[in-house]
Amino acid sequence: MSTDVTDKVPASAPPGKSGGTAADGNLLQLILGGLRRNMRQYGMLIALGLIVVLFQVWTGGDLLLPRNVSNLVLQNSYILILAIGMMLVIIAGHIDLSVGSLTAFVGAFAAVLTVQHSVAWPVALVLCLLVGAVAGALQGFLIAYLGIPSFIVTLAGMLLFRGLTEIFLQGQTLGPFPNGLQKLGNGFLPEVGPNTNYHNLTLLLGIVLLAFVVYQEVRDRRREQEFSLDVLPRNAFLLKLVAIAAAIIAVTMILASYQGAPIILIVLGVLVVGYGYVMRNAVFGRHIYAIGGNLPAAKLSGVKDKKVTFFVFLNMGVLAALAGLVVAARLNAASPKAGLNFELEAIASSFIGGASMSGGVGTVLGAIIGGLVLGVLNNGMNLLSVGTDWQQVIKGLALLAAVGFDVWNKRKSGS
Amino acid sequence: MAGPVLEMRSIVKTFPGVKALSDVTLTVRQGEVHAICGENGAGKSTLMKVLSGVHPHGTYEGEILFEGEVCSFKDIRASEHHGIVIIHQELALVPFLSIAENIFLGNEHASGGFINWNETLKHATELLRRVGLNDHPETRIADIGVGKQQLVEIAKALSKKVKLLILDEPTAALNDEDSGKLLDLILELKKQGITSIIISHKLNEIRRVADSVTILRDGRSIETLDVKAPETTEDRIISGMVGRDLDHRFPDRTPYQGEADAAPALEIRNWTVHHPIDQQRKVVDDVSINVRRGEIVGIAGLMGAGRTELAMSVFGRTYGRHAGGQVFKDGREIRTKTVAEAVQHGIAYVTEDRKHYGLNLIDNINRNISLTALGKVAKRGVVDEHEERKVAERFRKSMNIKAPTVFETVGRLSGGNQQKVVLSKWIFAGPEVLILDEPTRGIDVGAKYEIYTVIDQLAAEGKAVVFISSELPELLGMCDRIYTMAAGRLTGEVPRAEATQEVLMRQMTKDKEVTR
């Protein structure tokens, strides 16, 4: 028998009567509501800002020295690359434990190709990404089509790829890599034009980026107005633009006053924009959110859930391969112990950045913010010569605090 | 005649915004089998939850007297302590524990925290003998059928020294043979002095086991009849169940005018579906129905009649195991093996369970509406957000979805507005045939009227509508033709002119005895 008691309303109620209209919503409440709902993202951004300021003070200004910022980018790039893919996996309602091992495996493969067999590095790069894709596709097939839980499949993958790496390298460290490949991990944009005391190309890139972002923001606002949606008030919008511009200019100037923008930062930037766009605007991205948010409903809506899951893991494989190349290039050697615990860092980044254990929630930008929180904590504590023992303790607490805050916030808002 | 063992007086139970029970009185005599019947949503389960302490004392008004004592149960344990045990329709057994472990779950034979297995097994064997189950008590629950599981539940109740046993639609999931055994057991227990309350839709069952029957309707107790009295016929019970009047709750509708010999937009022939787990059981048994363009065709049936199962198995085989039958669209056979195929052929299924199968509750209105037909607002795999928003805004206005913006999270909307989002989503997909499964369940009268109007418009636009509902007045108010189903079979087809609640209810409660 139906437990639906709610449909037993006295039949005398007047039919067809509708309550207040949509436009009743108070503007201030709307903004506050929006802020509250995105509390997690804003909260983490604010937390990131606080951490940066704190370490800047504690390290006596060392944190934001141009050289250290460059370092920070180089040190964290591979975790951030993994975090992007991991975010997709988690949004889809899965987990991938194999990425750390896969990074090592691909690094080893690259070394065998370029060092032992002198394959040209661009060819090796493509082959490595292919290997990542195949590995991801295999796991994706087992998860999506055979229905083996992702935790199990990727746990097996974690052991398997780690083992294969060691077999491949026979326990040795293999290097060095050809110059072209090394650039991926350590290189900077080339210097061009007159001597300005700054890195010209980086400045140019910063200006282009600034113009692009401002243009996008203004266009978005105008379009929203066209749809007579409530937009930020003019002042608030200007403030937001100024804040964004300040951040871009600051980072540009810091990087330009050292060796310029690292190549991997450009790669990362392209990935963030690209994946952000896919997750927000592409049918594929929407389907990932749909299967993570409510799998049965997505299935009944005609979403090809298996195909989507498959490609999410395939994609994770490709990104893990890219991360593997970057790690190997940065260390200039393939090591059997490379990429140890990377999967956990990527997973932690995603959760700090707003992903949910049950799937369906999260953004690419969130994963980046989460990764940066961990990265700045790492780097800052290194500068302060905090031992790795305490570093782990503090990172653990950061993860707990971030997710705890989220849970508390959700409970408070009663959803 | 024996005095009352249970008296529930003037029970009122309110949920936020709704009165589920208003002034229900129930008197059960010592040692009898007392049936409770009523339509879906009449308040039967709620009443039993009040009695068993699921809704604790203080959350309802009224008085409960058991064995002459006023009771104020704060939870199920308290009511069980007094010997009142309820067996819910969804059995509460742990599948991977043994029969014996399940019987004594939460009530283990233990000393110092360690289970005494000898005593457990001995006692379990005795209880199993009492309920007529021969399986070894160490058999896993997962390895026995639903019928036997039901018996284990009763054994569990007996282990708690039950005095009043409440069974909520105990035979709904059982086949004929198991049902028969269960009913026999209830009579056997009666001889042993155990009083039972049985909730059932099946009038033949009530006649077979019950001594008296109380009829609930719209949260009120209508009457209590003596089943053994000659004047208590099935018709008498039916008229008690449906007695309410049809008031003006539906848009005025011009009945379907099309030619009767036009090829139906959708025709289902000889459709049979087996239960996904218990594959011996036919959930849908050789059902053939059709619907024409511009027509609204109802499917009436009580719980377990197989209506949703029929719809879902046609819609991309999303339920059970298909065992035969064909689907025709405009006279041509089509494949609907996957949801994508069904959608491609212009079929839409609006689920009865919008929260689990209809919506992504953590996402916004905008994205929920566009999901089924993202291709319509996308170019080369990229969603045009502005186009998408336009569509959502259009539906928000036309369907009168009450939300500040289309970016409101769907989980925060009321049931009626959620239902409008689900409908919007499927209307946006542009189907030619809409299967609406309980589209007005759990929503208020105002929103219902709005949804009826939408359905009416859809038919007027030439769409074929299949309307599954448990509320007879709404079928009578909306449909051109009504099919009735009972226990997986089609039991009738009634044109609008001949349909009354009594006629439908008679066919809906027709059990398999006719064909046996």
Per-residue pLDDT, B449: 84
Q: Is the pLDDT of residue A90 over 90?
A: yes
Per-residue pLDDT, A36: 61
Is A3–B19 a contact, with Cβ atoms under 8 angstroms apart? no
Q: Tell me what ipTM this predicted complex has.
A: 0.74
Chain A: closest CA distance from residue B483 (Å): 20
CA angle A286, A292, A296 (to 5 degrees): 100
Q: What distance in Å separates the CA atoms of residue A107 and residue A162, rounded to the nearest whole number?
A: 11
Confidence of residue A244 (pLDDT cuts 50, 70, 90): confident
pLDDT digits (tens, 9 = 90+) for B492-505: 999 988 988 889 98
Number of residues that this document lists for chain B:
516
Chain B: closest CA distance from residue A302 (Å): 5
Q: How much is the average pLDDT of A61-65?
A: 89
Please tell me which of the candidates B18, B389, B415 has its beta carbon nearest to residue A227: B389
Q: Which of A392, A381, A378, A375 is nearest to A59 (CA)?
A: A381
The answer to whether the CB of B308 falls within 8 A of the CB of B300 is no
Per-residue pLDDT, A77: 94
Pairing, β B4-15 against β B18-29: antiparallel
Q: Is the pLDDT of residue A230 over 70?
A: no
Tokens linked to B70: 């006023």
Helical pair A263-281 and A66-91, crossing angle rounded to 10 deg: 30
Q: Which of B307, B309, B303, B301 is nearest to B507 (CA)?
A: B301
Per-residue pLDDT, A13: 36
Provide CB contacts within 8 A for B81, sequence distance 6+.
Answer: none
DSSP string, A231-264: ---HHHHHHHHHHHHHHHHHHHHHHHTTT--BHH
- Bridge partner list, B191: none
Q: Is the pLDDT of residue A26 over 90?
A: no
**Cα B343 to the chain's mean position, in Å?**
26
Backbone φ and ψ for A384, nearest 5 degrees, come out as -85, 5
pLDDT digits (tens, 9 = 90+) for A348-363: 999 999 898 889 999 9
The answer to whether the CB of A212 falls within 8 A of the CB of A269 is no
Residues of B in contact with A18 (CB under 8 A): 400, 402, 446, 450
Q: What distance in Å separates the CA atoms of residue A330 and residue A186, rounded to the nearest whole number?
A: 6
Least confident of A98-102, A111-115, A292-296, B243-247: B243-247
Selected residue of A222, A300, A361, A415 to mutate for chain B interface (largest B Cβ count, 10 A): A300
The answer to whether the CB of B292 falls within 8 A of the CB of B256 is yes
* Average pLDDT along chain A: 86
* Interchain CB contact of B363 with A (< 8 Å): yes
Backbone φ and ψ for A60, nearest 5 degrees, come out as 60, 35
Chain B: closest CA distance from residue A412 (Å): 15
Backbone φ and ψ for A93, nearest 5 degrees, come out as 90, 20
Enter the pTM of the model. 0.79
Tally: H helices and E strands in chain A: 16, 0
Per-residue pLDDT, A305: 93
Q: What distance in Å separates the CA atoms of residue A191 and residue A188, rounded to the nearest whole number?
A: 9
pLDDT digits (tens, 9 = 90+) for B266-303: 999 999 999 887 778 888 999 999 999 999 999 998 87
Q: Is the pLDDT of residue A229 over 50?
A: yes
* Interchain CB contact of B9 with A (< 8 Å): no
Confidence of residue A226 (pLDDT cuts 50, 70, 90): confident
Please tell me which of the candidates B20, B371, B449 has its beta carbon nearest to residue A16: B449
* Interchain CB contact of A170 with B (< 8 Å): no
* Interchain CB contact of A283 with B (< 8 Å): yes
Residue type, A112: V
**Which of B428 and A35 is assigned the larger pLDDT?**
B428
Interface list for A 222-241 with B (CB within 8 A):
223, 227, 229-230
What whole-number percentage of chain A has pLDDT above 70?
88
Q: Could you tell me the sign of the dihedral formed by the alpha carbons of B507, B509, B510, B512, in that order? A: positive
Per-residue pLDDT, A344: 95
pLDDT digits (tens, 9 = 90+) for A107-135: 999 999 999 999 999 999 999 999 999 99
The answer to whether the CB of A337 falls within 8 A of the CB of A173 is no
Provide CB contacts within 8 A for A220, sequence distance 6+.
Answer: none
User: Element (H or E) spanning B45, and its range?
Assistant: helix B44-52
Interface list for B 196-235 with A (CB within 8 A):
199, 201, 218-219
Q: How much is the average pLDDT of A244-258?
A: 89
Instruction: Report residues of chain B scoring pLDDT below 70.
Output: 1, 16-18, 244-249, 257-261, 444-445, 511-516
Please tell me which of the candidates A5, A11, A25 has its beta carbon nearest to residue B41: A5
Provide CB contacts within 8 A for B177, sequence distance 6+.
Answer: B147
Tally: H helices and E strands in chain B: 16, 24
Is B453–A16 a contact, with Cβ atoms under 8 angstroms apart? yes
Per-residue pLDDT, B179: 85
Q: Is the pLDDT of residue A8 over 50?
A: no
Please tell me which of the candidates B371, B415, B446 has its beta carbon nearest to residue A290: B371
**Which of A23 and A39 is assigned the larger pLDDT?**
A39
Chain B residue with minimal CA distance to A282? B382
Residues of B in contact with A286 (CB under 8 A): 367, 370-371, 374, 383
The answer to whether the CB of B369 falls within 8 A of the CB of B421 is yes
Q: Is the pLDDT of residue A20 over 60?
A: no
Residues of B in contact with A223 (CB under 8 A): 386
